[in-house]
Amino acid sequence: MPLAIDASEHEAIVTADGRVMRQPVLTLSVEDTDRLRSGYVCIKCFEPFEQAWPERCPVCGAPVRREQARYFAQEFGGAAALGSPVSLLDELAHLAERERRG
């Protein structure tokens, strides 16, 4: 389900033996984000549900109905643009210019 999983540069957990484990940062599609927000997927294990907002996730036991909306609001970092900032038309114009120059 995640499009990408990266390590947070700012958030980490230090284990009892001193190891530093970075928190994961997930990149999700708009559709998957909407499914999490609307309670059709468990935010902890990504198990899909047939009906929104079950009391608990049948796989991991997370308290979906009681906690998921709060957890989503706390953790959602907002939308991010993926891919090149250059439009396809600009890229084609650039390639045509390069070809023209030889």
Q: Tell whether pTM > 0.85.
A: no
Question: How many distinct structural domains can be found in the chain?
Answer: 1
In tens, the pLDDT along 2-41 reads: 777 778 777 788 899 999 888 887 888 889 999 999 999 9
CB 88 within 8 A of CB 96: no
Q: What are phi and psi of 9, to 5 degrees?
A: -85, -15
Both tokens of 31, joined, read 């559709």
Which of 13-26 are b and which e, b meaning 16 or more Cβ less than 10 Å from the residue's Cβ? Answer: eeeeeeeeeeeebb
- How high is the pLDDT of residue 80? 67
- How high is the pLDDT of residue 82? 66
CB 53 within 8 A of CB 66: no
Residue 20 lies in domain:
4-101
In tens, the pLDDT along 30-72 reads: 899 999 999 999 999 999 999 999 999 999 999 999 999 999 9
